[in-house]
Amino acid sequence: MKRVQFEHSTIPYLFIAPQIAIIAIFFIWPAGQAIHQSFLLEDAFGLSSQFVWFRNYVDTIGDAAWLQAAWFTTIFSALVTFLSLGIALLLAVKANEVIRGASTYKTTLMWAYAIAPPVAGLMGNLMFHPLIGDLYKFFNAIGWDFNHKLDSFDAGFVVVLIAVWKQVSVNFIFFLSGLQGISKAVNEAALMDCKSPTRRFWTITFPLLAPTTFFLMVINITYAFFETFGIIDTTTGGAPGGSTNTLVYKVFQDGFRGADLGGSSAQSVVLMIIVLALTIIQFRFIERKVHY
């Protein structure tokens, strides 16, 4: 025997088969379908269809409603990512300093993680309900003419608030474990080298958390793009006037409510390209600045 070499056997393929099957059935096949459909114009009952080349794309990108949804998605994702990361980091740093009752703090902060986005949306719905919502009443009581059913800023505020609240717990868990991964001795060395806690945080703790932050940023942007669907569907439903439509929600509305399968397929293909581009940008340009 010269060296250990495994014979080509079917076993490795069997091991990855379930994963391949899942990807094929739930990603490649529907994605292929979407691309195919995006070139078709179909009647509302699905009885006839016509190949229209790129007309669906032209109609989609040129549509003011789509551009509005794209703009809202950008602002929404940026806000949700920035706020949920910022708040979670602050909470994690503070929770990390707590010595007495630390586990109670942590458990309490992690609870929201167990709540599904639609449920979070329903809870938000109750809190902002014009008749029984406490937050609705509170905002109006302090002089803010708050009405998310009519005002698009207020509606955006509601979905951002719920989406952030829901996501903070996930980020918190990762930040906390990231903080606990920083060597105690390094913190102590910093304690002897730098008096100001703020400066210590920005020069030592934050750079050492960069891998965690980068990872969470990718996760959070994906979350803001896709998983907030449930929140938007149960709270504003894109209202008022489509001002809280995210790209994903618009795909759903146009395809399933508007029965424009070709148009919504074209939108989802564009969305796929956007996400792909975003991911490449994140890994190309931001990850370089991350010290592992």
DSSP E strand stretches across the chain: 40-42, 49-51
Stretch that binds other proteins, among 45-53, 117-125, 153-161, 186-194 (CB under 8 A): 186-194
Residue 190 in the binding site for other proteins (CB under 8 A): yes
Say how far apart CA 227 and CA 115 lie, in whole Å: 13
Stretch that binds other proteins, among 2-10, 65-73, 179-187, 246-254 (CB under 8 A): 179-187
Phi and psi at 54, nearest 5°, equal -95, 15
User: Residue 41 in 3-state DSSP?
Assistant: strand
Stretch that binds other proteins, among 6-14, 167-175, 184-192, 236-244 (CB under 8 A): 184-192
- By C-beta, is 122 or 286 nearer to other proteins? 286
Place of tokens 């910022």: 86
Q: Are 159 and 244 in contact (CB under 8 A)?
A: yes
Q: Tell me which of 112, 194, 239, 259 binds other proteins, using CB under 8 A.
A: 194
Residue 77: both structure tokens together = 């994702």
H/E stretch holding 270 reads helix 261-281
> Cα dist. 285→118, 160, 280 in Å?
34, 27, 8
Residue 195 in the binding site for other proteins (CB under 8 A): yes
Q: Tell me which of 90, 130, 193, 273 binds other proteins, using CB under 8 A.
A: 193
Phi and psi at 50, nearest 5°, equal -135, 140
User: Residue 195 in 3-state DSSP?
Assistant: coil
Say how far apart CA 116 and CA 214 lie, in whole Å: 24
- What amino acid is encoded at 143 in this protein? G
- By C-beta, is 61 or 290 nearer to other proteins? 290
Q: Tell me which of 49, 68, 140, 203 binds other proteins, using CB under 8 A.
A: 203
Q: Tell me which of 185, 198, 285, 288 binds other proteins, using CB under 8 A.
A: 185
Residue 207 in the binding site for other proteins (CB under 8 A): yes
- By C-beta, is 186 or 277 nearer to other proteins? 186
Residue 8 in the binding site for other proteins (CB under 8 A): no
Stretch that binds other proteins, among 26-34, 56-64, 187-195, 214-222 (CB under 8 A): 187-195
Q: Are 55 and 264 in contact (CB under 8 A)?
A: no
Q: What character string, x for contact with other proteins (CB under 8 A) and - otherwise, covers 132-171?
A: ----------------------------------------
Residue 192 in the binding site for other proteins (CB under 8 A): yes
Residue 117: both structure tokens together = 């986005």
Residue ranges in contact with other proteins by CB under 8 A: 183, 185-186, 188-196, 199, 203-204, 207-208, 210, 291
